[in-house]
A and B are shown apart, each in its own frame.
Chain A
Amino acid sequence: MFEEYNPINEKIFRVIDNDGKVINKKWMPEISNERLIKAYKDMLFARTADLQTVSYQRQGRIYTYPPNYGQEAISGATAMVMRNEDWLVPAFREMGAYLAKGATLKELFLVFMGHEDGNVFKNANNMLPTSVPIASQLLHAAGIGYEINYNKKEQVVYAFVGDGGTSEGDFHEALNFAGVWKAPVIFIVQNNQYGISTPFKMQTMSKGIAIKSIAYGIKGIQVDGNDIFAMYQAVKNASEQALAGNGPVLIEAVTYRKGAHTTSDDPTKYRTKEEEEAWDCTDPLKRLKAYLISKKLWSQKEEDQLVEEYKLEVDRQFEEAENYPAYKLEDVFKYMYDEMPEDLKKQQNEYENFMKWKEARK
């Protein structure tokens, strides 16, 4: 697969077309119907949650949120391959991957409501929290990969970044280090065509991102990121490569950010309705749904019913997050150090004195 789709040939890896028809039988993965339906449901849940989160933001119930809309197949496919013992090193637009790892919506909501406790991801094994400084997390992934090799573990690291992030030095340094160390890291670039307002063509003169793997001596592949079958096949093959000791793989998942960069952003400033509509037919859920319906594995009726259930579940978790205990002064200090310096305790005490004074003044 990595030979056939060597990025030097500028051939994008695709298994189904925009109507959900298989166009690449050779690489059509064997996935049980049951698993495939689960993958679709997971993507549907992520989309429902995503759209609802944007509306919570509009209602003023959370602060800034980066929508995932249109990119769900990338997380969806990763979720199908990623195991409990594997690592997830996220950026911030991979809700489906977070959830697959065991993070809950409630925790994600807590973070977007402005509480660090949401970053704990209590039930998620081997997962780092969100990393806001673009591409910086990729080096952490390489370091984790080193530990896996050092202790001869059978694990893979799934590390995410966007197309904008590939312009940062850290991206290149991470590919280089992981390559030199043969670290079992799958670098997944969600090329959603925009770094905030900056289109991909202004980010690099390179014909895509996958091709950059060649210079680092690692495997790479450009994949239709809205084609769940292609993404699954690529991630699965990449993880087999990594587990076999062949080192990192760079997957460029070509997709489109249907939403805004974050809820603070207004895409009408820098892109046209026509462009958005042109990408619409590539929507990952539409394509998988068309495939499932053609195999009689899914119906609109089922979907409508399920979406209603999902909406209630999303609301339920949102309300749980809203009812989370109030932020306390000690929450500011408690986790700064394992061993808190005396001076920091004093700063907390002094602030408590101020709060008492303020209370007494009322």
Chain B
Amino acid sequence: MKVMNMVNAVNDALDIKLAEDRNVIVYGEDVGVEGGVFRVTEGLQLKYGVERVFDSPLAESAIVGTAVGMAAAGLRPVVEMQFSGFAYPALNQIISHVSRLHNRSRGRFNMSMVIRMPYGGGINALEHHSESMEAIYGHIPGLKVVIPSTPHDAKGLLISAIESNDPVIFMEPKRIYRAIKQEVAEEKFTVPIGKAKVISTGTDVTVVAYGALVREVQKAMQMAKEAGISVELIDLRTIYPIDKETIAASVKKTGRIITVAEGPTSFGIGAEIAAIISEEAFLHLEAPPKRVTGFDTIVPLPKGEHFYMISPEKIFYEIERTVKY
């Protein structure tokens, strides 16, 4: 075991896969010499050479588009979008090819690639550096979308993602890149894609969160405990394919559901989960499903960002209202 933060854990997963599979190629803007603007790929170019870990010219569409070709030819590219807010030029490639080539070629070509991108707010950044647009990717058929909340899961999920023959959008909650440290096994292990994790069991209300928000829910749970409310917390871990069974089983027990996700409200992950609960656990509901989200607005610049960000108080406020409904 070794103490790692999420930056170390992602780096470690890349290191392990680069070492054991020469088809793994890592590239993107500033990932080589500099080791990425968040230092996630630090040291990998020195260790594996410029043919396997390198800086690309500045063009997101080209980074993903070339990865499509590499994957079609049998490589396993792991590319980085410097910030999720810069990934939009690549959406054409993602929607038109990454998610489709397997189906279009009737399975002849695997899109065995991972597109990594730091996402989310709370880091006092300039415009386009703070959004949480995972719902966009969740809505594109043909993709898998993964978001870890801990260093352990980041390592295990990324190894699974790289080994997956399907394309994986791997979103990293940059706010907690260095904020959480834990003991992580040094050897290779995987965490399965598509499986949520019940972090703590409870009886009054189910809260589903992922990424940086899991920690905020844990803080809210302290307040809930003081108010005598028992919360069951589920870390979603995979946006798509979403783990309906785990969520539905929990709601059948608690009768209440709150989803916590930083993206805009409308057509988001919370909406999807509310629909799942309506379909799978309707008769068990004692209160309407509640979405705790960002607003349907642009993420404000730092001076106004505190209004947008989801605080533990906001989560507790909704927990209490839902339980008292």
From 326 to 361 in chain A, residues with beta carbon under 8 angstroms from any chain B beta carbon are 326-327, 329, 331-333, 336, 341, 343-344, 347-348, 351, 354, 357-358, 361
Chain B residue nearest to A163 in the complex (CB): B58
**Contact assessment for A132 and B128 in the assembled complex, using a CB-CB cutoff below 8 Å:** yes
Chain B residue nearest to A165 in the complex (CB): B58
CB contacts (< 8 Å) of B300 on chain A: these are 116, 327, 331-332
**Contact assessment for B125 and A64 in the assembled complex, using a CB-CB cutoff below 8 Å:** yes
Chain A residue nearest to B298 in the complex (CB): A336
CB contacts (< 8 Å) of B37 on chain A: these are 196, 264-265
Instruction: Mark the stretch among A167-175, A232-240, A304-312 that contacts chain B.
Output: A167-175
- In Å, the complex CA distance between A29 and B301 comes to 43
CB contacts (< 8 Å) of B317 on chain A: these are 354, 357-358
Instruction: Mark the stretch among A16-24, A107-115, A151-159 that contacts chain B.
Output: A107-115
The answer, yes or no, to whether A270 is at the interface (CB within 8 Å) is yes
**Contact assessment for A351 and B295 in the assembled complex, using a CB-CB cutoff below 8 Å:** yes
CB within 8 Å for A331 and B304 given contacts A63-B124, A195-B29, A198-B57: yes
The answer, yes or no, to whether A164 is at the interface (CB within 8 Å) is yes
**Contact assessment for A133 and B88 in the assembled complex, using a CB-CB cutoff below 8 Å:** yes
**Contact assessment for B30 and A344 in the assembled complex, using a CB-CB cutoff below 8 Å:** no
A205 to chain B, nearest CB (A): 10
CB within 8 Å for A63 and B125 given contacts A114-B305, A347-B265: yes
Size category of the A interface is 35 or more
CB contacts (< 8 Å) of A197 on chain B: these are 30, 33-34, 55
Q: A116 touches which one: B60, B86, B301 (CB < 8 A)?
A: B301
Chain A residue nearest to B92 in the complex (CB): A169
The answer, yes or no, to whether B284 is at the interface (CB within 8 Å) is no
A256 to chain B, nearest CB (A): 18
A68 to chain B, nearest CB (A): 16
- In Å, the complex CA distance between A90 and B86 comes to 18
CB contacts (< 8 Å) of A116 on chain B: these are 300-301, 304
CB contacts (< 8 Å) of A329 on chain B: these are 307
The answer, yes or no, to whether A269 is at the interface (CB within 8 Å) is yes
The answer, yes or no, to whether A278 is at the interface (CB within 8 Å) is no
The answer, yes or no, to whether B210 is at the interface (CB within 8 Å) is no
From 258 to 316 in chain B, residues with beta carbon under 8 angstroms from any chain A beta carbon are 265-266, 295-298, 300-305, 307-308, 313-314
The answer, yes or no, to whether A104 is at the interface (CB within 8 Å) is no
The answer, yes or no, to whether B126 is at the interface (CB within 8 Å) is yes
- In Å, the complex CA distance between A26 and B301 comes to 49
- In Å, the complex CA distance between A332 and B299 comes to 8
Chain A residue nearest to B293 in the complex (CB): A347
Chain A residue nearest to B264 in the complex (CB): A347
B279 to chain A, nearest CB (A): 24
- In Å, the complex CA distance between A150 and B37 comes to 43
A245 to chain B, nearest CB (A): 32
From 34 to 57 in chain B, residues with beta carbon under 8 angstroms from any chain A beta carbon are 34-35, 37, 55, 57
A142 to chain B, nearest CB (A): 17
- In Å, the complex CA distance between A113 and B305 comes to 12
CB contacts (< 8 Å) of A64 on chain B: these are 124-126
- In Å, the complex CA distance between A10 and B29 comes to 28
CB contacts (< 8 Å) of A269 on chain B: these are 33-35
**Contact assessment for B296 and A198 in the assembled complex, using a CB-CB cutoff below 8 Å:** no
**Contact assessment for B58 and A203 in the assembled complex, using a CB-CB cutoff below 8 Å:** yes
A26 to chain B, nearest CB (A): 36
Chain A residue nearest to B39 in the complex (CB): A269
**Contact assessment for A336 and B297 in the assembled complex, using a CB-CB cutoff below 8 Å:** yes
The answer, yes or no, to whether A202 is at the interface (CB within 8 Å) is yes
- In Å, the complex CA distance between A136 and B90 comes to 13
- In Å, the complex CA distance between A314 and B59 comes to 36
Q: A133 touches which one: B128, B297, B313 (CB < 8 A)?
A: B128
CB contacts (< 8 Å) of A55 on chain B: these are none
Please, what's the 1-or-0 string for B67-87, where 1 marks a CB less than 8 Å from any CB in chain A?
Answer: 000000000000000000110
- Offer 26 A-B interface pairs, CB within 8 angstroms, sorted by A: A63-B126, A111-B301, A113-B303, A115-B301, A115-B303, A116-B301, A132-B127, A134-B58, A167-B57, A167-B58, A167-B62, A169-B59, A170-B89, A195-B58, A197-B55, A198-B29, A198-B33, A270-B34, A327-B300, A331-B304, A332-B297, A332-B308, A333-B295, A333-B297, A347-B265, A354-B317
The 8 closest A-B pairs by CB, nearest first: A114-B302, A197-B34, A167-B57, A164-B58, A114-B301, A327-B303, A327-B304, A114-B303
Residues of A within 8 A of B (CB): 63-64, 111, 113-116, 130, 132-134, 136, 164-165, 167-170, 195-198, 202-204, 264-265, 269-270, 326-327, 329, 331-333, 336, 341, 343-344, 347-348, 351, 354, 357-358, 361
Q: Knowing that A327-B304, A332-B297 are A-B contacts, what are 16 other residue pairs whose CB atoms are under 8 Å apart, sorted by A's residue number?
A: A63-B124, A111-B301, A132-B85, A133-B85, A167-B58, A169-B59, A169-B61, A198-B30, A202-B55, A270-B34, A331-B304, A347-B296, A351-B295, A354-B314, A358-B313, A361-B313
